[in-house]
Amino acid sequence: MLFWSAKARAPSIVMAVALAQFLTLLVCVPHASSRLLGSSFGLPIFDIFNVTAPVTFDYIVVGAGTAGIPVAVRLAEAGSTVALIEAGSLHYLGNGNFSQVPLYASAFQHTYAGSLINPIVDWNLTTTPQAGLHRLYPQGKAVGGTSTRSHQAFTFAPKSSYQEWADAVDDQSYSWNNFHPHLIKPINFTAPSSHRFPNSTARFPPHWRGHTSGPLQLTFGNYAWPWASWVKKALTGLGFEENSDGFVGGSLHGVGYQLSTLDATSFTKETSDSSYLNGLGINNQNLVVYANALVTRILFDASKTASGVEFDYGGLQLKMACRKEVIVSAGAFRSPQLLMLSGIGPRAILEQHGIRVVSDLAGVGQNLGDQVCAGISRRVSIPTTAELQWNAEAAVQALRDYGSSPPRGPYTTYAGDLLAFEKLPQIYRRKLPTSIRNSLDLLDADRPELEFVAFSAYGGPQPGFLGSPDGHNWATLAVALSSPFSRGNVTITSARAQDNPLVNPAWMNDPRDAQMALQGFRRLQDILSSTLLQPVLVGHESFPPASVLKTDAQVLEFVKTYANPLFQASGTAKMGRKDDPMAVIDSKARVFGINNVRVVDASSLPVLLPGHIQGTIYGLAEKIADDIIHTDKKTARPRPYSTTDVIPEQVPMGRHD
Ligand SMILES: Cc1cc2nc3c(=O)[nH]c(=O)nc-3n(C[C@H](O)[C@H](O)[C@H](O)COP(=O)(O)OP(=O)(O)OC[C@H]3O[C@@H](n4cnc5c(N)ncnc54)[C@H](O)[C@@H]3O)c2cc1C
């Protein structure tokens, strides 16, 4: 489809490709089985392109994000009719090419008050004050969801985390071996190309070569930032092993280049819409996408069975009905919000807002897990993103490289292209109180406690995003707590979906995390002082200045004030056993206490996974879709739309009174 394949290219190329595609479309239309441009999108009031579109769907999926699109696409493939309802629109319209060019991934994402934000493709959510500060927490509001905001890192958690998951939900289908087929089903892998520098070899599981059957393209950038190579050399010198599997083999320990969700031809960011929707779903007539539609409530009949949803479409309050299920994939903050607005959640909160209780579930909105990081920026003598911001010649060359075939150079990769994971080494561990050491010792051997990210840009507060406040090259090394103990929560501030939920990440609320952050930061300082990095560090200028990081109290103060999330929020409608009072969904993602509602997204995760969670979310979406399809034999039979799909006696579309 012309619109969906629009990529960030030089305008002339775009126009030429567009013209060719348009001509092809014109030639093909009379015989085509595919739909007309735009027909994949529904108008909930009327649909002039597809007048036979049913008002009642088998499934309604709420949220066209990282999980929602794969679930909707797979169900439609299996023959069910699916309405995919998304509050946002197309990120190409709202965010230009900032959601496409890999280097731009962190555009409009600073978390400090006063940062540049883009209200069109983001929910503009502000957390409750953390250490006295309100923080912005980016979340995608677009077809593609937060995959359009992501920094493209693709990892799987260590094997023990999936085992912990399987044990927590009493379902061994989540063990590494059993879950693995679903985790890799999305993947279409391309090995790194020869355009990377020779000293930046990227590792990946050898058997992934040729694994191209999935819709989601993964590869490595056609460039490695010099800072990444220097940090890798330093970490290796300090005893880090290289992670030989690119962080997707079931172990995160070690250092390596970031495997990324990247289109291996255009070197644009791969998202759930560019992969699943554009690649698979767009021509499937069973799937209709309703954009700009904010679901405000799930509707239930007298037997607490979901019958459809109510939504806000440009101010109109509309309803849509489903025959089978409502699948909530609205993300870690908005899935619990929607459940609460629909009467599913902690009784006291619902009653406080005058919401009728349908299922009193204490765990809705609780158990919010997230990783938190802090870094040090230093002036460096090697090229960083500052070159693209301040050096016209370098910027023009980088654009030329990106426009060449194949694209190469710094625009093909994210600025944080090197990751490393470890347990806190003994020398720092010994400084922790015994009780904290004991807690850490309970973590599995393959579960990392720290993650490092080498970022070729300035990391201090600044309104821009490309990387340098002063024209000098700056680089950052950040450390994150991979296995924090703190848990926050999400709640509602009103009975209206239009109001953002209240998010309290509770970063470092657990004293164990504060002590771990202190020792992790000391480890970070020591890495930056290593002789192996000295050749590229310039002077002593840094953010924060060394003078404010002398005592432990100063470090803790800095970390608490400047810590950022790694944006891996999860667990707010967690999966669990029926006898777990905080569990919201069972191991098939079905919400307890009601019928025909599932939650499939980051909020479903029962365990805070180390590393980056999008890979697991795609895998979970595949797994639950597979479960649904296999337990519902009828939906497994392909069936095109027909006018008989219109069931007038069910809740009609249109203005509701
Ligand atoms: C800045 C940033 C960078 C990140 N980088 C990485 C990374 O490099 N690697 C990684 O693994 N992870 C990364 N993550 C995390 C990852 O992107 C998320 O965990 C993941 O995308 C969440 O997927 P989801 O399906 O749960 O939610 P989402 O992808 O957010 O999807 C939810 C969708 O539901 C829609 N929606 C919400 N409420 C409603 C409603 N009431 N009605 C209709 N629609 C609604 C939203 O608009 C959205 O489109 C990053 C996150 C952020 C914020």
Residues 6+ apart with CB under 8 A from 567: 137, 138, 146, 150, 151, 370
Please provide the DSSP assignment of 119-160 as one string: TTTB--EEBSPBTTB--EE--B-EETGGGGT---B-----HH
Ligand 1 pocket: which residues have CB below 6 Å? 62-68, 85-88, 109, 138-142, 145-147, 149-153, 294-295, 329-332, 334, 338, 497, 567-568, 601-602, 612-614, 617
Q: What is the Cα 515 distance to its own chain's centre? A: 28
Q: Read off the pLDDT band of 132 (50, 70, 90).
A: low
Strand ranges in 186-252 using DSSP code E only, listed in sequence order = 187-189, 216-219
Checking if the pLDDT of 549 tops 60, the result is yes
Mean pLDDT of 339-358: 98
Please provide the DSSP assignment of 476-531 as one string: EEEEEESS----BEEE-SSS-TTSPPEEE--TT-SHHHHHHHHHHHHHHHHHHHST
- Ligand 1: nearest atom to the Cα of 611: 11
Q: Read off the pLDDT band of 42 (50, 70, 90).
A: confident
The string of pLDDT tens digits covering residues 448-493 is 999 999 999 998 877 666 678 899 999 999 999 999 999 999 999 9
User: Under CATH, which number does the domain 192-268+372-481+508-562 receive?
Assistant: 3.30.560.10
The string of pLDDT tens digits covering residues 146-165 is 999 999 999 999 999 999 99
ipTM: 0.99
Q: Please give the Cα distance from 356 to 343 (Å, whole number).
A: 5
- Ligand 1: nearest atom to the Cα of 142: 49
- Ligand 1: nearest atom to the Cα of 63: 34
N-term to C-term CA, the chain: 38
486's tokens: 């703190």
Checking if the pLDDT of 32 tops 80, the result is no
Q: How many CB atoms lie within 10 A of CB 231?
A: 28
How would you class 123 by CB atoms within 10 Å of its CB: exposed for 0-12, middle for 13-18, buried for 19 or more? buried
Protein residue with its CA nearest to atom 38 in ligand 1? 330
The string of pLDDT tens digits covering residues 599-635 is 999 999 999 999 999 999 999 999 999 999 998 765 4
| Residue 89 host element (H or E) | strand 89-90
Give residue for tokens 């509050």: 87
The string of pLDDT tens digits covering residues 500-522 is 999 999 999 999 999 999 999 99
Q: What are the boundaries of each domain within the chain?
A: 1-27, 192-268+372-481+508-562
Report in angstroms the alpha-carbon separations of 456 from 104, 378, 477, 655.
13, 10, 9, 52
Closest C-alpha among 481, 487, 482 to residue 509: 487
The whole-chain average pLDDT of the chain stands at 89
Protein residue with its CA nearest to atom 31 in ligand 1? 65
Protein residue with its CA nearest to atom 50 in ligand 1? 150
Closest C-alpha among 296, 234, 285 to residue 85: 296
Q: What is the whole-number distance in angstroms between the Cα of residue 145 and the centre of ligand 1? A: 5
- Ligand 1: nearest atom to the Cα of 106: 1
* 3-state DSSP of 243-266: CCCCCCCCCCCEEEECCEEECCCC
How would you class 35 by CB atoms within 10 Å of its CB: exposed for 0-12, middle for 13-18, buried for 19 or more? middle
Least confident range from 528-537, 548-557, 572-581, 627-636: namely 627-636
Mean pLDDT of 184-192: 97
User: What is the structure's pLDDT at 429?
Assistant: 97
Q: What is the whole-number distance in angstroms between the Cα of residue 121 and the centre of ligand 1? A: 11
Protein residue with its CA nearest to atom 49 in ligand 1? 145
- Ligand 1: nearest atom to the Cα of 145: 49
Checking if the pLDDT of 362 tops 50, the result is yes
Residues 6+ apart with CB under 8 A from 118: 94, 95, 98, 107, 108
In single-letter form, the type of residue at position 93 comes to L
Q: What is the whole-number distance in angstroms between the Cα of residue 596 and the centre of ligand 1? A: 23
Protein residue with its CA nearest to atom 9 in ligand 1? 153
Q: How many CB atoms lie within 10 A of CB 102?
A: 28
Q: What is the whole-number distance in angstroms between the Cα of residue 198 and the centre of ligand 1? A: 35
295 belongs to an annotated ligand binding site: yes
Q: What is the whole-number distance in angstroms between the Cα of residue 481 and the centre of ligand 1? A: 21
Q: Provide, rounded to the nearest whole percent, the portion of the chain with pLDDT above 90.
A: 76
What is the maximal distance between C-alpha atoms in the chain?
A: 75
Strand ranges in 242-371 using DSSP code E only, listed in sequence order = 254-257, 260-261, 287-290, 293-300, 306-313, 316-328, 344-345, 359-360
User: What is the structure's pLDDT at 27?
Assistant: 35
- Ligand 1: nearest atom to the Cα of 612: 11
Q: What is the whole-number distance in angstroms between the Cα of residue 201 and the centre of ligand 1? A: 30
Q: Read off the pLDDT band of 657 (50, 70, 90).
A: very low
Q: What is the whole-number distance in angstroms between the Cα of residue 171 and the centre of ligand 1? A: 26
Checking if the pLDDT of 236 tops 70, the result is yes
Q: What is the whole-number distance in angstroms between the Cα of residue 150 and the centre of ligand 1? A: 8
479's tokens: 């450390």
Residues 6+ apart with CB under 8 A from 167: none
| Strands 564-565, 372-380: pairing kind | antiparallel
